[in-house]
Chain A
Amino acid sequence: MSDLYQAVLLDELKHPQHKQSLPDPDSVARAVNVSCGDDLTVYLKFSSDQTILDIGWQGNGCAIAQVTMSLLSAHIQGKRVKDVMALTQSDLENLIGIKQISLGRVKCLMLGLEAVQRAIQKTKK
C-alpha cells in the first residue's frame, strides 16, 4: 500500500500528463471498468512511420487507473505502434513502480492500455 499511494503517484494524479482530447485524432477508443465505473477515452495521432505522434486522454477513474494512464501516455509518445501493442501488465507495474498489484486492482491498472490498444486496433481494420 505504501507503494501504491507514494507521493510521486499522487503528484501524478494531481498533475496528469496528456489529459486532454486531441483535435482531429486518427483514432479514438474508450475502455470502461464496469465493476467501478472507471471510464477512459484515448485519442491517438500516428506518424507515417508507424509511431505514436501524439496521445490525449479524458475520463474518470480511481488513482491507479488515472496515474497509469498518465504515465503510459508519456511513455508511448514517439514509440512504435508494434511495441505499444506488445506492452503487458508487468510493463505497467514497472512503469508505476508497483510490484504485483492485487488481483482486485489489475483491471484498474490495465484500463488505459486497453483503450490505447483498442484505438490502435481500430486503425488496422
Chain B
Amino acid sequence: MFNPEELKQDFPILSRQINGQSLVYLDNAATSQKPQVVIDAISHYYQTSNANVHRGVHALSDESTKLWETSRATIATFFGANPGELILTRNTTEAINGVAYGWADHHLSASDVILTTPMEHHSDLVVWQQVCQRTGAELRFLEVDETGRLKIEQLEEIFAHSDIKLISLGLVSNTLGTRNPVEKIVKIARKLRPEVKILLDGAQAAPHLPLDFHELDCDFFAFSGHKMLGPMGIGGLLVKQDLLESKAFQPWLFGGGMIATVEREKTEFAEDLADRFTAGTPDVASTVGLAAACRYLQQLGMKEVAQHDQELVQYALEKLTQISEVTLIGPVYALPAQPLDRVGSVAFIYQGVHAHDVAQILDSQGVAVRSGHHCTMPLHTQFNWQATVRASFQVYNSQADIDKLVAALAKVKAVFGM
C-alpha cells in the first residue's frame, strides 16, 4: 500500500503555500493535480517529438504517430477496452455529447424514453434535454431517496410503462458521492429490454475505482483525463466494438483524418475505428500526458487506490459527524451487509453559514474545497439545499489532510461567533 504523504512529493503544486499555509488540496472532484511524470511527458513530447500524426512520412511524424497510438492503447487498456473502442474527446461532457450526436439523434424519436437520474451532473442532463428537444423523445428519472441513493426497486416498474431506449447515469455522483449500483441496473435493463443502450458517466469513478469496460457491460463509458491525474483537455468515450462496427454509432465530427476517400459531393469515412472518430489534428501531447497518468495509477494499483479512497471517505465521515453544525449529504452509513457505497468525496452543509463563506474561511487556512451547487442544480432544488461544501480526495490526500479540514472548520465557528 502506498503512502500518500510520500506521493505528495510527486506533485510539485502541492508544495505551494496558500495564504501563508501549506496547501491542503481537497477539490479533486473538480480537477486533480498532476504528477511530475505527466508534466514531463507533455513537455518531453513538445521538446523531442512534436509533429502532426498520420500525414507525414518524415521521422518526427512517424514518432508522433507511434506515441499517439501507444498512448491510446495505454488509456484503452487502463479501462479494459480495445484501443479501437476508445474515442478521444476533450472531456466527459464532450464524450456524452458524442453519444447524443453519434447515436441518439439517429435512433430516437417521439414516444422513446431516455432514463436518467436527478443526481446527474449537468453534463449528463442538459445534453439529454437537448436531444429530447431535437427528437421528441421524453426524459424520465429514476428517483433518489433521502439517503442519496437511487430507488432501484422502481426500475422494473418504470420499464413496464416506458419505451426506454437509452439509460444514462453516473457511476459515482459528484455531489452525493454515491456509488450507484450500475451493475444491477445494467442487469435488469439487459433482461427486460436487451436492445436498450446504456451510457455510464465515469468522470468521478475513473480516478478512484478499478474499472473494466467489458465487465461493466455498458454500451458507452465517458471519462475525463484531468480528474485522474492527467492534463486538462483530454478525455474519452468508450463505445462497444459491435456498435462501432455495425455503424449504429456514427461520427459526429467531420473533416480531415476521419476519411477514406473524398469526392466533390460525398465522402467515405475511414474503416479504421480510431481514424473514423478522429476528425482534425488530435491533441497528441495531452494524450501522451493522460497515458502517463494511467501508468502512474497502474503502478499504485487501482485496487489500492480504491482502498485508500475508502479509508479517506470513512475517516472524513467519522470526523465530520462529530461536528454538530455539519449536516452531511449523501450516504453516510452502509446498507446492511454491504460496503459503504460512497466514493471520492464528502459534501455537507454548515448550519447557519453559507457554503461560500465556509469555503472562503477554509481557504484562509490553506484548505481548498468547492462550494456551490457542483453542477447538480436539480438535486439541490429537490432537497432544498442552497449550496453545499464538498471535500474530495485523491491518492495524495491523507488523514492528516482531513484533520486540517476539521481544524479549519473550527475557524468557521470562531469567525461567525457561533
Interface of A toward B, CB cutoff 8 Å: 1-2, 4-5, 10, 34-38, 60-64, 104-105, 108
Contacts and interface: CB of A to CB of B under 8 A. Distances in A.
A1 B373 contact: no
B225 to A, nearest CB: 25
A1 B363 contact: yes
Q: Which of B361, B387, B416, B417 has the most CB of A within 10 A?
A: B387
Given A1-B361, A37-B373, A10 B356 contact: no
Contacts of A105: 356, 360
B44 to A, nearest CB: 33
Contacts of A1: 19, 360-361, 363-364
A63 B373 contact: no
B416 A10 contact: yes
Contact of B354 (A10, A34, A36): A36
B354 A63 contact: yes
Interface in B319-360: 353-357, 360
10 contacts: A1-B363, A4-B360, A5-B357, A5-B361, A5-B415, A10-B417, A36-B354, A36-B355, A36-B356, A105-B360
Q: Which 7 A-B pairs have the closest CB atoms?
A: A1-B364, A62-B354, A37-B386, A62-B356, A36-B387, A63-B357, A5-B415
Contacts of A37: 372-373, 380, 385-387
B71 interface: no
Interface in B360-378: 360-361, 363-364, 371-373, 377
A63 B415 CA distance: 12
Contacts of A10: 415-417
Given A1-B363, A64-B356, A108-B356, A36 B417 contact: no
B360 A36 contact: no
B386 A36 contact: yes
A34 B387 CA distance: 10
A64 B359 CA distance: 13
A36 B364 CA distance: 20
B354 A61 contact: yes
B386 A60 contact: yes
A105 B417 CA distance: 22
B322 to A, nearest CB: 24
B75 to A, nearest CB: 32
B372 to A, nearest CB: 5
Contacts of B387: 36-37
Interface string B407-418: 000000001110
B373 A35 contact: yes
Contacts of B386: 36-38, 60
Given A1-B19, A10-B416, A10-B417, A35 B357 contact: no
A55 B353 CA distance: 25
A10 B361 CA distance: 13
Contact of A36 (B19, B363, B371, B415): B371
Contacts of A62: 354-357
A64 B360 CA distance: 11
A121 B413 CA distance: 40
Nearest to B373: A37
Contacts of B355: 36, 62
Given A1-B363, A4-B360, 5 more contacts: A36-B355, A37-B372, A62-B354, A62-B357, A108-B356
A54 to B, nearest CB: 27
A22 B38 CA distance: 59
A122 to B, nearest CB: 26
A31 to B, nearest CB: 15
A96 B295 CA distance: 50
Nearest to B356: A62
A38 B373 CA distance: 11
A111 to B, nearest CB: 11
B136 to A, nearest CB: 28
B265 to A, nearest CB: 46
A121 to B, nearest CB: 27
B373 A36 contact: yes
Nearest to A107: B356
